[in-house]
Amino acid sequence: MRLLGLDPGLRTTGWGVIDAVGNRLRWIADGIVTSDDTLSLAERLAQLHRGVQAVIEQFAPGEAAVEETFVNRNPASTLKLGQARGAVLASAGLKGLPVAEYAPRLVKKSIVGTGQAAKEQVGMMVRQLLPGCQANTADSADALAVAICHAHHRGTARRIQAAEESGR
């Protein structure tokens, strides 16, 4: 299954594409979509939307996973992040992709083993788990981490479902 991980941000949205077959993960591509901060909010959100849709069209993932918004001290920043997240979710939804959402702490815990991991630790583990991966930016590494997290949780959920169905 091809999976798309997304780390939304108004200035920079990271994306990462992996293939997950059983327990095996393979890096396909990663990068960022940026918006021009001289434009209006609506135009910036449209840039993010078009950029994510282009990634979806190019790599044809079967599912997407998006990092949830964390609440920070600045309410205006949190609101803008939420709006960027909405544009990213709409991009995947309009392409008909099932979308899973994961809390930042769960992503870090799934990749590094602790929810308090630094961005550098996440990037290092992503490169270890996906040989050949570029992950040149923290945003694309975070997006790949979201995709890996989804692959692990998706696989576990399917095994539980299969076990429950065989027990009936």
pLDDT tens digits, one per residue of 25-38? 999 999 999 999 99
Tally Cβ neighbours within 10 Å of residue 24.
Answer: 8
Domains of the chain in sequence order: 2-166 (3.30.420.10)
- pLDDT at residue 14 in the model: 97
Q: Give the catalytic positions in this structure.
A: 7, 67, 139
Highest-confidence range of 78-82, 96-100, 120-124, 135-139, by mean pLDDT?
A: 96-100
Model confidence at 162, pLDDT cuts 50, 70, 90, reads low
pLDDT for residue 15: 98
The structure tokens listed for 89 are 């979710």
CA distances, 140 to each of 39, 45, 100, 136 (Å): 23, 18, 18, 7
Rounded CA gap, 10 and 45, in Å?
7
Q: Is 53 helix (H, G, I), strand (E, B) or coil?
A: helix
pLDDT in tens, 104-152: 999 999 999 878 888 889 999 999 999 999 888 999 999 999 999 999 9
> Residue 164 above 90 pLDDT?
no
